[in-house]
Chain A
């Protein structure tokens, strides 16, 4: 084991390989508050990448309802239980990561799902599991709550799948940090399936190899966002690159949301992988649940989000989500407009801070007919 620095848990930790960060790191921000679990992202991915034989059960992108939804079943609960208490000392994670908690003979603390754990995605997870007391009314925070968690591979800085593979068949691309399984070298040992805490590597029983989200690298290499991003009708996703905290740049949209405003947070940072998909936490879920899932800064992020409407920069940048199929590495606000640009500063997209409102009279005097609210 080597000693590496993980900024998400603010300390050094053990990892199988020495620290070697890519030249640039693909990253994403998902605004959970805007997700409606329509699964368009899931199907966009499915039809693009996993419609083959042996891939039937695979969802490289999935959306599950928390707290009772999982894909695969109990993927997070099983590992959280195996890890034991996960104590934070302020911003510093005081517990053990999955690398530090690895049992004898293994490189990572993990578990391997059974076939049936993948068999029921989304079934029953939105059903209200609690009883409603007499006299209960709609209030905030909600008495009964859930939220939708969209998940892809986190293309981690310290991937557990990569660390787990005894053959070195998994690699992290130096140019963009995307984590891939070498399909020519993989022999289907499924150590990666066991090791990935997010359960985003999948065994293909027809080819005998394991497969995973490739961050749509053929598109990303051309400056285009991933299929699950481009097809998100709720426009909850932003694709780009993230810097190290000490090199954060406020005109980089991902850096601004993660490092400058600390609005978007990693998923289960205590696992120790430094995952690169960041979530704006849901505002109506209990604080303790969110702290376990997104770390000690969850409530601060929610407070920032609640005030976003009064903050033209933040509101403007949130409006940039899903506005173009091109990756937007730079952004700025000019009065009532938010502009997304490429690396050389050329404008890619321009969105208004506030969409104009058009009011039509209910009665069309020209045609002498009442208007109705349908096309």
Chain B
């Protein structure tokens, strides 16, 4: 009987060894965004450095608190990695999206994503829904159309509508060619948003916009634009890197929070019609390596 017990114990030990004890323990998925320290922050989504950064999967929920509300669940989650060097922090967002939507039109909307952080260190974070009055949030917003322009898409109507036929633009009249100043002034008169300096309207050299907000409907350009980034299509969707200055809200060894949002152009998502997260804890590195 004792022999039998020993045999069973040995067998149990073998089984356990085969299932758990003898395997390398699996790394549990991170429960917060951990910013990996590096000397240089990668600005390309395909950079191999991203493999060293742990991936946090953030579930997205519908923005259904303020009108116009998102009442259909679309993009389920976004996978985020982060690398920082003390001065700059790069976030790599990756999500599934079956279609590339980067051509604007009357009813054509563009894919986009954004990273939001609180502007100041405060005991309580501002509302994740674009902040609150007096409690500003900083938002770095990437847009697929702006990326397409940076990647070389032209600035004519034919670049948006290849079959468009235009008879004449008055500011391209032959006599005006002798007076570039007059020609530029006339061109600007027919593009009022550019004439008044709306950052949305001007031809862009960067796919990322720096914005601030103090609640829904208050989004406005940040005092300075420093963020950069790059987005590219993956086999299943988009991978986008947004590089921004390391937030003031996070001292060395500090912690902050980030919130993420994703817009799917194919589902006419724009503005408040989006999939979003709440605040996600983020841990910044002790010192740059």
Contact = CB atoms under 8 A, between A and B. Distances in A.
Interface of A: 47, 49-57, 104-107, 112-115, 117-118, 164, 166-168, 183-191, 193, 202-209, 211
A115 B200 contact: no
Given A54-B191, A183-B193, A208-B200, A191 B271 contact: yes
A288 B122 CA distance: 64
A209 B217 contact: no
A195 to B, nearest CB: 9
A187 B219 contact: yes
Contacts of B217: 166-168
Given A166-B66, A167-B217, 13 more contacts: A51-B169, A52-B189, A53-B157, A53-B190, A53-B191, A56-B157, A106-B67, A112-B268, A115-B161, A193-B106, A204-B191, A206-B155, A208-B201
Listed residue (B107, B156, B195) with the most chain A CB atoms within 10 angstroms of its CB: B107
B68 A184 contact: no
A78 B64 CA distance: 26
A105 B68 contact: yes
B270 A189 contact: yes
B271 A187 contact: yes
Nearest to B211: A187
Nearest to B145: A208
B155 to A, nearest CB: 7
B222 to A, nearest CB: 14
Listed residue (B69, B108, B161, B271) with the most chain A CB atoms within 10 angstroms of its CB: B271
Contacts of A189: 270-272
B197 interface: yes
B190 A55 contact: yes
A92 B156 CA distance: 50
B54 interface: no
B157 A166 contact: no
A211 B193 CA distance: 9
30 contacts: A49-B190, A50-B190, A51-B169, A51-B170, A51-B190, A52-B169, A53-B190, A55-B190, A56-B166, A105-B68, A107-B67, A113-B106, A115-B161, A164-B68, A166-B68, A168-B217, A183-B193, A183-B201, A184-B198, A187-B271, A188-B200, A188-B270, A191-B68, A204-B193, A205-B106, A205-B160, A206-B157, A206-B191, A208-B145, A209-B201
A204 B191 CA distance: 9
B1 interface: no
B196 A184 contact: yes
A106 B201 contact: no
Interface of B: 64, 66-71, 104-109, 145, 155-157, 160-161, 164, 166, 169-171, 187, 189-198, 200-201, 216-220, 268, 270-272
A113 B197 CA distance: 28
Contacts of B164: 56
Interface residues of B: mostly helix, strand, loop or mixed? Answer: loop
Given A115-B161, A166-B272, A53 B169 contact: yes
A49 B190 CA distance: 7
Contact of B68 (A107, A117, A203): A107
Nearest to B109: A190
Given A52-B187, A54-B191, A184-B197, A105 B104 contact: no
Contacts, number: 131
Contacts of B155: 53, 206
A179 B241 CA distance: 40
A57 B194 CA distance: 19
A164 B200 CA distance: 20
Given A208-B104, A209-B200, A105 B71 contact: yes
Listed residue (A113, A115, A117) with the most chain B CB atoms within 10 angstroms of its CB: A115
B44 to A, nearest CB: 26
Contacts of B68: 105-107, 164, 166, 191
Contacts of B271: 166-167, 187, 189, 191
Contacts of A105: 64, 67-71
Contacts of B218: 167
B107 A207 contact: no
A164 B161 CA distance: 28
Contacts of B105: 115, 203, 205
Given A47-B170, A166-B216, A189-B270, A207 B194 contact: yes
A53 B217 CA distance: 28
A183 B157 contact: no
A190 B193 contact: no
Contacts of B109: 190
Question: What are the 9 closest A-B residue pairs judged by CB atoms, nearest first?
Answer: A52-B190, A105-B69, A207-B201, A189-B271, A209-B193, A183-B193, A207-B193, A205-B104, A184-B196
